[in-house]
């Protein structure tokens, strides 16, 4: 029996899934120059052996295939078949899991956030035929849970006096010379002034991550309106490669907004009609 076409699916589901895949791939490939050289040259010429990992998860070939395999997900932009959406989601998630367990990439947060967003996409893709409001609200709630899981760890890890005082972020900013605003800030302000700023920047970062760790308890629009700019601002004082970790989370929030936008519009319209009856 052949699988039905995605044509019968709600348009918003297709759009949401494509947004997630697109920004997931943006994050996955944002460090491609680094990863391609590492997986295809460094691991081949200087293989590392760690007996803690099984032989399969020490293989350079496994890392190479797992990194390139998600490119197959590009097919979702030229198809409307549910089977291919499901296949793309499974491939993305399995590739993330492989690299998350591989000895040579287990310490990169890119694959951790990619795995959780991929897991959400697997669940969503296999349920894409549904068009009831309960499903869309469930998808939105799960998206908020994924975001909360990612930021909860970062929030707890920064609850130290060194982070709260701004010392850690200031040292990173001054020594690593990274961030989109780094050159301009150093050219116009002395180190003492910059360190004073980072006392407040670090506190805002910790509070922001703590708020996103509570995302499932907050209004969705509030999380989108504040959380997305918050995540995008990371690159101002850190390397732009931080987007390898955050892009898929941004895509997840945007997709959730697409899924509930019509319900929000209907609710707002109903409120206006009650307030200003014709």
Chain-centre distance for alpha carbon 98: 18
Better pLDDT: 243 or 186: 243
Angle, vertex CA 87, rays to CA 244 and CA 131, nearest 5: 95
Coil vs helix vs strand at 81:
strand
Residue 125 has pLDDT above 60, yes or no: yes
Least confident of 63-67, 158-162, 179-183: 179-183
User: For all residues of the chain together, what is the average pLDDT?
Assistant: 87
- Please report, for residues 20, 78, 140, 187, 263, the alpha-carbon distance to residue 257 in angstroms, rounded to integers and kept in the order given: 12, 23, 8, 40, 10
**DSSP summary character for residue 51:** T
pTM: 0.87
Neighbours of 251 (CB within 10 A): 25
**CA-based nearest residue to 164, from 124, 210, 120:** 210
Residue 263 has pLDDT above 80, yes or no: no
Better pLDDT: 14 or 5: 14
Question: Bridge partners of 5?
Answer: 81
Coil vs helix vs strand at 67:
helix
CA atoms 198, 203, 207, 209: torsion sign? positive
3-state secondary structure 90-109: HHHHHHHHHHHHCCCCCCCH
d(CA 68, CA 28): 10
What percent of the chain stands above pLDDT 70?
A: 89
**DSSP summary character for residue 39:** I
Coil vs helix vs strand at 132:
coil
Angle between helices 82-101 and 60-68 (to 10 degrees): 150
Q: What is the pLDDT of residues 205-217, one digit of tens each?
A: 999 999 999 999 9
Residue 195 has pLDDT above 70, yes or no: yes
d(CA 252, CA 224): 10
Q: What is the pLDDT of residues 21-55, one digit of tens each?
A: 999 999 999 999 999 999 999 999 988 888 888 99
The first and second tokens of residue 73, run together, are 């997900």
Better pLDDT: 130 or 181: 130
The first and second tokens of residue 166, run together, are 């701004």
**The pLDDT value given to residue 241:** 83
Model confidence at 268, pLDDT cuts 50, 70, 90, reads very low
Least confident of 142-151, 217-226, 254-263: 254-263
Least confident of 23-27, 74-78, 250-254, 273-277: 273-277
């Amino acid at each position: 029996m052949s699988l039905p076409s995605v044509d019968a699916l709600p348009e918003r589901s297709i759009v949401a899934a494509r947004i997630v895949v697109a920004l997931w791939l943006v994050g996955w490939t944002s460090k491609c120059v680094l990863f391609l050289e590492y997986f295809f040259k460094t691991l081949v010429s200087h293989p590392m052996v760690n007996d803690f990992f099984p032989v399969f998860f020490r293989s350079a070939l496994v890392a190479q295939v797992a990194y390139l395999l998600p490119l197959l997900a590009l097919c979702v932009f030229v198809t409307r078949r549910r089977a291919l959406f499901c296949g793309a989601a499974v491939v993305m998630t399995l590739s993330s899991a492989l690299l998350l367990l591989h000895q040579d990439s287990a310490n990169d947060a890119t694959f951790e956030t990619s795995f959780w967003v991929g897991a959400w996409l697997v669940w969503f893709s296999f349920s894409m035929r549904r068009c009831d409001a309960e499903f869309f609200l469930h998808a939105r709630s799960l998206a908020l849970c994924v975001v909360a899981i990612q930021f909860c760890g970062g929030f707890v890890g920064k609850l130290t006096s060194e982070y709260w005082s701004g010392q850690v972020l200031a040292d990173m900013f001054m020594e690593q010379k990274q961030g989109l605003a780094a050159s301009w800030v150093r050219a116009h302000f002395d180190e003492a002034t910059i360190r004073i700023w980072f006392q407040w920047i670090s506190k805002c970062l910790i509070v922001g991550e703590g708020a996103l760790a509570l995302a499932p308890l907050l209004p969705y629009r509030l999380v989108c309106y504040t959380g997305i700019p918050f995540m995008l601002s990371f690159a101002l004082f850190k390397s732009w490669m931080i987007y390898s970790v955050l892009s898929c989370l941004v895509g997840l929030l945007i997709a959730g907004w697409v899924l509930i936008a019509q319900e929000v519009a209907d609710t707002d319209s109903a409120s206006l009609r009650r307030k200003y009856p014709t």
